[in-house]
């Protein structure tokens, strides 16, 4: 019996060794490529290697909103101060039950119109359309029947006038040059069909007219740990995948898309939770299926400040949604594996998201169960296990701290000693505790899955500082 258990445990140990080597290699390559790219980018900026122009291509900024009465007005005002000469703003209220509409109508001089909107993508009915022109920027405010975020975005696409559109969450603030930066990859290469911007946590920044006045790491552990988590994701992993147009996610909080391609692919899906990831997956498969050359780019210089959940409950709800969105998007496009396995987006990105994002929490739980089993049978090598835990956590800490410092030098932030101390504390907690809590949240995400449908994710919003 013991021999069988030992053989079984050896097999599992081999599996975990392979898994850990692959994962640490991925993380290592992410940081390595991130460091090279960010250093290059900093040098490029210094040496004027950029496509800087007075006028860029016109873009439509689409801001879907649902119960955003706290932040919507500030978000729209922040858009009016952008360093961009030609854009329109389209706000789509997806049937909010709070004061979102009233707040907007009070803050801006809208007038009601009968603007005809072509239904390029079928959507729920539009109740009313308002228009205004402020600082020479056309703003359209559409109130519609509730249909979910994807449906609201589709209404925005239908109403948009320009060939490229930017999606922006209603709680987000764009940095002054964000639109300029996010359109630049399109000017560099016309094959670019989508560009993702960098998302940062708004609670630790003070901004005026789109300019960062002050930045500090927060003391609030929930926020602080998300700051370091975002840094690692946006300054390492996405840069690695960007080397071969392999990003499968462009955050709905800030991304740019070529409208004609999105329309050809059918617009946003309305019956999915992660409509942003689903769209990017569909764009990949659509272009590959049609043998059309394309690029999906990531632009870390285009910065959007978005509010992060501030309570444990909110973050659990958000991550549950993200996880289910990931599950829906990955399972909806198996051809990534069957037809496009030879493409890097298939054999690297798709497999990465399956193995290290979707299955990872289950593998981690399985690992814990195995440890317990090994302990029962007296097969557990405790010193080895402790060493493995420490080296692995230490590795995570180093990766996160590297991303933190990379952000400092790429964004020209002033570094305070207290911020470094806070970052160090947050990074340790994030790697030693927070990530395991999130794994638990992900494993339990499927409980109640069917009931959730296409509802909006809701987290408690707070008023932005000094907008």
Q: 188, 213, 312, 341: which one contacts other proteins (CB under 8 A)?
A: 188
Query: Of 81-89, 290-298, 342-350, 408-416, which segment contacts other proteins by CB under 8 A?
Result: 408-416
Q: Would you state the structure tokens that stand for residue 185, as one six-digit string? A: 């990859």
Query: Of 52-60, 267-275, 288-296, 313-321, which segment contacts other proteins by CB under 8 A?
Result: 52-60
Sign of the C-alpha dihedral, residues 260, 263, 265, 267? positive
Q: 368, 371, 376, 391: which one contacts other proteins (CB under 8 A)?
A: 391
We find the least distance from the C-beta atom of residue 309 to other proteins, in angstroms, to be 28
Q: Would you state the structure tokens that stand for residue 450, as one six-digit string? A: 């069917």
CA–CA distance, 153 with 175 (Å, rounded to integer) = 22
CA–CA distance, 116 with 326 (Å, rounded to integer) = 36
Q: How many residues bind other proteins (CB under 8 A)?
A: 51
Would you count residue 443 as binding other proteins (CB under 8 A)? no
* Closest by Cα among 368, 336, 366 to 352: 336
We find the least distance from the C-beta atom of residue 223 to other proteins, in angstroms, to be 23
Would you count residue 386 as binding other proteins (CB under 8 A)? no
Q: Which H or E element spans position 130?
A: strand 126-134
Sign of the C-alpha dihedral, residues 422, 428, 433, 435? positive
Would you count residue 114 as binding other proteins (CB under 8 A)? yes
Q: Which is nearer to other proteins, 185 or 325 (CB)?
A: 185
Would you count residue 31 as binding other proteins (CB under 8 A)? yes
Would you count residue 115 as binding other proteins (CB under 8 A)? yes
Would you count residue 432 as binding other proteins (CB under 8 A)? no
Query: Of 197-205, 293-301, 390-398, 448-456, which segment contacts other proteins by CB under 8 A?
Result: 390-398
Helices (H), ranges, 160-220: 178-188
Beta-ladder partners of 192:
295
Q: How many CB atoms lie within 10 A of CB 355?
A: 15
CA–CA distance, 169 with 255 (Å, rounded to integer) = 10
Would you count residue 418 as binding other proteins (CB under 8 A)? no
Residue 416, SS3?
Answer: coil
Would you count residue 20 as binding other proteins (CB under 8 A)? yes
We find the least distance from the C-beta atom of residue 161 to other proteins, in angstroms, to be 10
- The CA angle 149-184-31, to the nearest 5 degrees, is 80
We find the least distance from the C-beta atom of residue 228 to other proteins, in angstroms, to be 13
Would you count residue 6 as binding other proteins (CB under 8 A)? no
Would you count residue 405 as binding other proteins (CB under 8 A)? yes
CA–CA distance, 172 with 179 (Å, rounded to integer) = 13
Residue tagged 């549950």 (tokens): 320
Q: 11, 17, 211, 312: which one contacts other proteins (CB under 8 A)?
A: 17
* Closest by Cα among 180, 185, 165, 167 to 295: 185
Q: 86, 102, 127, 187: which one contacts other proteins (CB under 8 A)?
A: 187
Contact (Cβ atoms closer than 8 angstroms) between residue 166 and residue 64: no
Query: Of 15-23, 162-170, 273-281, 453-461, which segment contacts other proteins by CB under 8 A?
Result: 15-23
Q: 6, 7, 44, 127: which one contacts other proteins (CB under 8 A)?
A: 44
Q: 2, 3, 46, 342: which one contacts other proteins (CB under 8 A)?
A: 46
Would you count residue 388 as binding other proteins (CB under 8 A)? yes
Q: Which is nearer to other proteins, 61 or 235 (CB)?
A: 235
Residue tagged 């392979």 (tokens): 18
Q: Would you state the structure tokens that stand for residue 134, as one six-digit string? A: 């402020």
Beta-ladder partners of 173:
305
Q: 4, 47, 125, 447: which one contacts other proteins (CB under 8 A)?
A: 47
137-144, strands of its sheet edge to edge = 111-113, 126-134, 137-144, 87-93, 59-65, 164-168, 254-258, 192-201, 295-306, 172-174
Interface residues toward other proteins, by CB under 8 A: 17, 20-21, 24-25, 27-28, 31-32, 35, 39, 43-44, 46-51, 53-57, 113-116, 118, 131, 186-190, 384, 387-388, 391-392, 394-395, 398-399, 401-402, 405-406, 408-409, 415
């Amino acid at each position: 019996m013991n021999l069988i258990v030992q053989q079984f445990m050896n097999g599992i140990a081999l599996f975990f060794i392979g898994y850990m080597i692959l994962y640490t290699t991925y993380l290592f390559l992410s940081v390595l490529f991130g460091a090279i790219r960010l250093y290059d980018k900093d040098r490029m900026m210094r040496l004027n290697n950029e496509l800087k122009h007075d006028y860029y291509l016109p873009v439509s900024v689409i801001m879907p909103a649902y119960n955003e009465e706290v932040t919507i007005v500030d978000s729209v005002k922040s858009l009016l101060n952008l360093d961009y000469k030609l854009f329109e703003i389209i706000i789509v209220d997806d049937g909010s039950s709070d004061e979102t509409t009233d707040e907007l109508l009070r803050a801006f001089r809208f007038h009601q119109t009968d603007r005809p909107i072509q239904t390029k993508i079928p959507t729920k009915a539009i109740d009313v359309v308002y228009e205004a022109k402020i600082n020479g920027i056309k703003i359209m405010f559409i109130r519609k029947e509730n249909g979910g975020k994807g449906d609201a975005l589709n209404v925005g696409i239908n109403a948009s006038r320009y060939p490229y559109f930017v999606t922006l969450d209603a709680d987000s603030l764009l940095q002054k040059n964000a639109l300029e930066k996010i359109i630049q990859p399109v000017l560099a290469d016309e094959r670019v069909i989508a560009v993702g911007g960098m998302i940062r946590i708004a609670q630790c920044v003070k901004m005026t007219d789109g300019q960062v006045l002050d930045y500090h790491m927060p003391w609030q552990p929930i926020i602080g740990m998300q700051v370091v988590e975002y840094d690692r994701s946006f300054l390492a992993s996405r840069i690695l995948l960007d080397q071969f147009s392999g990003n499968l996610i462009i955050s709905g909080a800030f991304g740019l898309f070529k409208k004609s391609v999105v329309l050809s692919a059918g617009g946003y899906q309305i019956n999915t939770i992660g409509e942003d990831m689903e769209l990017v997956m569909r764009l990949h498969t659509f272009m590959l299926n049609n043998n059309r050359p394309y690029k999906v780019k990531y632009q870390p210089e285009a910065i959007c400040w978005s509010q992060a959940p501030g309570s444990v409950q909110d973050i659990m709800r958000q991550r549950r949604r993200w996880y289910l969105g990931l599950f829906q998007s990955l399972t909806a496009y198996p051809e990534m594996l069957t037809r496009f396995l030879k493409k890097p987006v298939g054999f690297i990105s798709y497999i990465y998201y399956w193995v290290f994002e979707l299955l990872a929490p289950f593998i981690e739980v399985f690992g814990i169960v195995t440890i317990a089993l090994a302990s029962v049978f007296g097969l557990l090598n405790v010193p080895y296990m402790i060493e493995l835990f420490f080296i692995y956590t230490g590795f995570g800490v180093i990766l996160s701290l590297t991303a933190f410092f990379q952000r400092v030098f790429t964004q020209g932030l002033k570094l305070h000693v207290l911020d470094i101390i806070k970052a160090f504390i947050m990074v340790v907690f994030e790697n030693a505790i927070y990530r395991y809590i999130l794994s638990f949240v992900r494993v339990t995400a499927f409980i109640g899955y069917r009931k959730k449908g296409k509802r909006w994710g809701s987290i408690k919003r707070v008023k932005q500082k000094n907008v």
